[in-house]
A and B are shown apart, each in its own frame.
Chain A
Amino acid sequence: MNFLATSIESLGAKVVGWFTVGYGMFTFLAKAGLLLLDRTTWNRATFDVVVKQVYFTAVQILHVFLGYTLVISWLIITIILSTARDFGLTEFASEMTIRVLVLELLPFLTALFIALRSGSAINTEVALMQVNNELDALAHCKVPPMQFEFLPRLIGGVVSVVTLAGLAGLLALLMGYLTIYGMSTAGFGPYTQTIAKIFDFKIMVGLIVKCALFGLAVTLIPVTAGLETPKKLFMVPVSVLRGMMRVFFAIVAIEVVSLALKYI
């Protein structure tokens, strides 16, 4: 009986904890959204920090990211192509390649890539800022942390994931063509027709929204997890661990919901 009560209590505490975290995140997002609509936010200083964030999140890793995309795309395309040949479904290979790679796998991997590289760094930095009182110091100087530290990271994350996923998709389309048709221009017509058939307006909007949500997840969650850190240095790794777990679940949840909306 005692065990049952303890279990229910612990489950209740966990559920309350999840709601508190969720509420905190949505409150933060609402504040950021309101600030985005405020004309005074859009000054030169904020714009400069946004550009810096996009540079650190997307441009600095572009060569590594494109190399990784090239290898993954080539492998997946080769697997799809050989499987399609085995089953006599070669005519569906290009559509299958585009659907699997460009619409699903590459945006997902891009989000994971940015989460591991930038999300963890953001989580650690915000947690350290919180522990070291740097946010209090900024507040004392009346430098708004949301405008100076957090909003540029959110915008940078969204812009970076959308752009990198777009670039990866274009690269995969090119790779797909070269692997299926080689250097011949004969396949250009049917290949572009397949692309046009898949990328209707709804799919395009869905893809952009999904990538934007991925971008938001890999920055918003680490920032809020960092801000929750108690002012004790040994809690920083715990904060990063919690933040990254939440990011992972959020990315998976976004992907699952997107798949369900598209195919069920």
Chain B
Amino acid sequence: MAAVADLPDDVARVALDLPLRANLSALDNIALIPLYQRHYGAVESTQQAQAMLDQLGHADIALLRDPDMTPAQRFVTKLARAIILKRPRLVIDRPGAMLYDVPYPAFIRQLAAQAEMTGTWEIFDFSWNQALYQE
């Protein structure tokens, strides 16, 4: 798994070891990216973050903080944060460790269908979980 951690800078990672800021809401966690990277104002950044959650079909989790989220909601927030980074590659690192409350290949597939994103999504998972991805 060291290979995943050593991925280049143009990869946006969704991983268990890249948690959300615990004292910020889902919306604020996502809004940090446009706010600090692209220097948008607070209102514009929040709107972008809300739009991202709307797009993923989880607008209702906007005000939840990390400890109040279910594993799936936490995953969606991390995913939204990764998508808003607008990097050409998105890597989901061992989704089973984050999505233990839902049948995760189907859940990720559904999110991928909703997200408007250019670039590729890659899933790094254990080989023994391969069967889960075959429909």
Contacts and interface: CB of A to CB of B under 8 A. Distances in A.
Interface of A: 43-45, 48, 125, 128-129, 132-134, 136-138, 140-144, 147-148
Contacts, number: 47
A144 B19 contact: no
Given A125-B23, A140-B13, A45 B18 contact: no
B74 interface: no
A141 B32 contact: yes
Nearest to A138: B21
Contacts of A128: 22
A144 B36 contact: yes
A166 B81 CA distance: 43
B21 A133 contact: no
Contacts of A141: 32-33, 37, 81, 85
Identify whether the interface residues of B are mostly helix, strand, loop, or mixed: loop
A140 B18 contact: yes
B36 A148 contact: yes
B36 A147 contact: yes
Contacts of A129: 21-22
B13 to A, nearest CB: 6
Nearest to B35: A45
A134 B81 contact: no
A260 to B, nearest CB: 41
16 contacts: A43-B39, A45-B39, A129-B21, A133-B17, A133-B19, A134-B19, A136-B18, A137-B19, A137-B21, A138-B32, A141-B33, A142-B85, A143-B32, A147-B36, A148-B32, A148-B36
A44 B22 contact: no
A136 B20 CA distance: 10
B32 A48 contact: no
Given A44-B41, A129-B21, 6 more contacts: A45-B42, A125-B23, A133-B18, A137-B20, A141-B85, A143-B36
Contacts of A44: 41-42
B116 to A, nearest CB: 20
A132 B19 CA distance: 7
Nearest to B81: A141
Greatest chain A CB density within 10 A among B32, B36, B81 is at B36
Interface in B8-46: 13, 17-23, 32-33, 35-37, 39, 41-42
3 closest residue pairs by CB, A with B: A137-B18, A143-B36, A45-B35
A140 B81 CA distance: 11
B87 to A, nearest CB: 10
Contacts of A136: 17-18
Contacts of A133: 17-19
Contacts of B17: 133, 136
Contacts of B37: 141-143
B44 to A, nearest CB: 10
B33 to A, nearest CB: 6
A144 to B, nearest CB: 7
A238 B107 CA distance: 41
B14 to A, nearest CB: 10
A133 B19 CA distance: 7
A121 to B, nearest CB: 11
Greatest chain B CB density within 10 A among A43, A128, A136, A141 is at A141
A45 B22 contact: no
Contact of B21 (A43, A45, A134, A147): A134
A138 B23 CA distance: 13
Greatest chain B CB density within 10 A among A138, A140, A144 is at A140
